[in-house]
Structure 1
Amino acid sequence: MDGGAIRRRLALGLAVLTASGLLAVASPGHAEAADACSGRKVRTLPFATGSVSVYKRNGYVCAVTVAKKVSGRKLMSVSVQARGSRPVADSGWYTHHAGPVTVHAGHRCVWVKGSVGSGSVSSGWILC
């Protein structure tokens, strides 16, 4: 291989790495969390430091808490409770989102809660 071919391959490799890096930076962080739940989005519960997205599919309800600002690890949580059942929850120190958590609700109401740092939301019984 001559010097020109080596330079072309290096340039191509650098271009591919640069493009993949730009895509990673430019892609919205919320898409990652939204992809975690399947089904159709039925509610968004906003609060001061984030929001909880609620999805429903074939009797299952899924929820994800997403932080409004991505800046270091924060205490986050999300929980979903079908009426008559125990809540399913996820909490911990996360940078972007907590969850997803999924419950089988059938045609029962659900109670969704979420928090990011000092902000939180509690839905009350919904999707009845």
Structure 2
Amino acid sequence: MDSGGMRRRLAVGLAVLTASGLLAVVAPGDAQAATSCSGRKVRTLSFSTGDVHVYKRRGYVCAVTLPERPGIKQYMSVSVQARGNRPVVDEGRYFRRAGPVTVHAGHRCVWVKGRVGRGSVSSGWILC
């Protein structure tokens, strides 16, 4: 094989590695990386304009609201309240998500709320 053919193969291999590396950074394979909550997913609260994903780890509860149609700047909110405490809230006009918000619940119940545009969800006391 001549040196020109070897250079071409090397260039193609380098291009493939670079492209696959960029795809891994731009489109992470697991939803946890997209939500920024750690722990295991314990609930998904669905509503007409989105979902609230709830995670739990070592007494901490984390939630994030994801819209049905990401990429459009719209009002979103997420809140988590451990029984006996005030809610922790993130709200505003976002493109991709509201949150994450995390509270220390221990073994107490939590109340999770989420909103995207006009649609919303309220869990009631859960994870007791």
Normalised TM-score (structure 2): 0.79
CA distance in 1: counterparts of 2:93 and 2:30, whole angstroms: 17
Aligned counterparts, 1:1-128, within 5 A = 3-23=4-24, 30-34=31-35, 36-128=36-128
Q: How far does residue 6 in structure 1 lie from its aligned partner after superposition?
A: 3.8
CA distance in 2: counterparts of 1:72 and 1:14, whole angstroms: 32
Contact 2:65 2:98 in 1 (8 A): yes
Runs of 4 or more above 6 Å deviation: none
Quickly say closer, same or farther: Cα 1:60–1:31, change in 2 above 3 A.
closer
CA distance in 2: counterparts of 1:104 and 1:26, whole angstroms: 30
Give aligned-pair identity as a percent: 60
Contact 2:32 2:38 in 1 (8 A): no
Higher mean alpha-carbon deviation, 40-49 vs 12-21, is at 12-21
Q: Deviations over 1:30-86 (max 9, x none)?
A: 44334x222222211100111111122222111111122223222221110111211
- Structure 2: which 5+ runs fail to align? none
CA distance in 1: counterparts of 2:83 and 2:20, whole angstroms: 48
Higher mean alpha-carbon deviation, 118-127 vs 8-17, is at 8-17
Normalised TM-score (structure 1): 0.79
Letter in 1 for 2:11: L
- Structure 1: which 5+ runs fail to align? none
Contact 2:28 2:34 in 1 (8 A): no
RMSD of aligned Cα (Å): 2.5
Q: Deviations over 1:1-38 (max 9, x none)?
A: x544443333223222333455567656844334x222
CA distance in 1: counterparts of 2:38 and 2:30, whole angstroms: 17
